Every structure is written in C-alpha cells, then in structure tokens.
Amino acid sequence: MEYTIKKVAELSGISTRTLRYYDEIELLKPARINSSGYRIYGTKEVDKLQHILFYRSLDMKLEEIQKLLNTPNYDPQHALQDHYQQLMAKRRQLDHLILTVEKTLRYQKGELTMTDKEKFVGFKKETLQKNEQAYGKEIREKYGEETVAASNQKWLNLSEEDFNRMKTAEKELIEALKVVINTKDLHSQEAETVFLKHKEWLHYASPTYSTEMHRGLGQLYIADERFAAYYNERAGASAAQTLNNIIQQFAK
C-alpha cells in the first residue's frame, strides 16, 4: 500500500504540516517523491510513524525518538513490548489517582473517614511510577532490588510533614546551587548548604545513608544525561556537575 501525505495525515490524526516537519528533521522520510513532487509513504513508513506516536504519547522528545529509532539494533517487536509496559504503568498511575479522588469525594461528603496518609498515597505512587519509568533500571543496577524496594516503601510511608520538609530541602538546595554556579566557589557557605540540603533530602528518600552511597549518587548525576537534566533544568547548565563536585568534596 502507498499513501499520499494527506492520506497519512487522515490515518494518523496528525497534520500534514507535522509530517513535513518530520521529513525536514529526517525523523520520518517518505518512501519516495512522485513525478508531481508529492510525498508518498509505504507500509514501512506508516509502521514507523506509529512507533513515533507511541513514544510521543509517553512525552519523549523528538530528538530522543530519533536517536532511538536510528539505533542499529532497534527491534520493533521489543519496542512494542516496551510501549505496552509503559502504558500499563501509566494506567496504574491513573488508577491510583482516580481512587484517591473518589475516596476524597466520599470523605468530603462525610461518607467515610480518610487519614492524612491516604490523602497523598495516589500522588506518591504516581511519582514512584514516573521515577521507575525514567530511572528504575539504572538505580537497580547500581544499588540493588532490595535497596530500591526499601527506598520506595519509605517514600510511600512519608508523613505529610516529612514530605513537605523534603520538598523544602530540595528547594533550598536548588537556590544555593544557583549561587555556587554563579560564584564557582566550592568552599563557600552556599556550597556547604547545597551539600547539607542534599543530604537532608537523601535521608527522606533513602532507607539508609552512607558517604559512599552519597558520592555514588553524585557520580550518577553526571554519568546519565537524564539524571543530569533534572538539576540542569532547574538550576542551570552546569548544575549536575557542580552538585557532584560539592558532594565529592563534602561527603567524607
């Protein structure tokens, strides 16, 4: 089967403008250009577009999709299985949130009691699922299944007070980190604040603490671009590297 760009747009639900853009950035090239200058797509291109839209539904950036699809050992069947697992995880996230909303509505109507812990369990589970999708494999390889499971359980058991303290520690960490990035002074009071706030955050996030674990986490921030992006997007382009330098200096 062959399709014009207009027909592919109708099949997929995306615009011809988007398809032209995918062609321009070489994410999805047509099978050929006919004698009239129209883009013509075949079954291979349609299948590839389906995979692109799967990844887009998971909020993956176009450059990341392009890099993945161009991997020499890219396996469409394996990718489809991965899509399925991630979609199931998203469904579990929604199920947890829906359950929390339903219980909250009944609680506000006076139909049942609801503990403070129950009010936040859906949001916590959603965060865990997102972290699992983004970092689960790497974290398990570095720290082991038992440690990760214990960390997840500690997170779920956090009280509202501890959860707010954890978020405050992270916020203060980011603000101090911005100062250090600007001054480049790793011996300043702000640098020490960065370390102490990160250590405080880690005490809430991890079942145990050791300087070795802390230093290893700092190295992970710069070894994996996804970890680096978390801090770089919040504090500046060199945030992950600066944070790691501070951790290596103070965690002794």
In this predicted structure, what is the pLDDT of residue 142? 65
Q: At 121, is the pLDDT very low, low, confident or very high (cuts 50, 70, 90)?
A: low
Kindly calculate the radius of gyration of the chain based on its CA atoms and give it in whole angstroms: 23
**Taken in order 198, 203, 206, 212, is the CA torsion positive or negative?**
positive
Average pLDDT, the chain: 83
135 Cβ contact partners less than 8 Å away, ≥ 6 residues apart: 224, 226, 227
Tens-place pLDDT, residues 184-203: 999 999 999 999 999 998 88
CB 194 within 8 Å of CB 176: yes
Element (H, E) at 61: none
For the ranges 115-119, 127-131, 144-148, 194-198, the lowest mean pLDDT is seen at 115-119
Lowest-pLDDT choice from 95-99, 190-194, 209-213? 95-99
**Secondary structure of 162-231 in HEC code, one letter for each residue:** HHHHHHHHHHHHHHHHHHHHHHCCCCCHHHHHHHHHHHHHHHHHCCCCCHHHHHHHHHHHHHCHHHHHHH
Task: Evaluate whether 206 touches 218 at the Cβ level (below 8 Å).
Answer: no
Q: For residues 166 and 211, what is the distance between their CA atoms, to the nearest angstrom?
A: 19
Question: What are 137-185's pLDDT values in tens digits?
Answer: 666 676 667 766 667 667 667 777 888 888 899 999 999 999 999 999 9
Q: Is 210 left (phi over 0), alpha (psi -120 to 50) or beta?
A: beta
Instruction: Using a pLDDT cut of 90, give the percent of the chain over it.
Output: 41
Section 94-111 average pLDDT: 67
Neighbouring C-beta atoms of residue 30, cutoff 10 Å? 21
Residue among 172, 247, 177, 183 nearest 212 (CA): 247
Q: Which one, of 36, 35, 39, 47, lies nearest residue 20 by Cα?
A: 39
Q: Are strands 32-33 and 2-4 parallel, antiparallel or unpaired?
A: unpaired
Reference 185, options 173, 197, 174, 177; nearest CA is: 177
Supply the pLDDT for residue 93: 65
Neighbours of 109 (CB within 10 A): 8
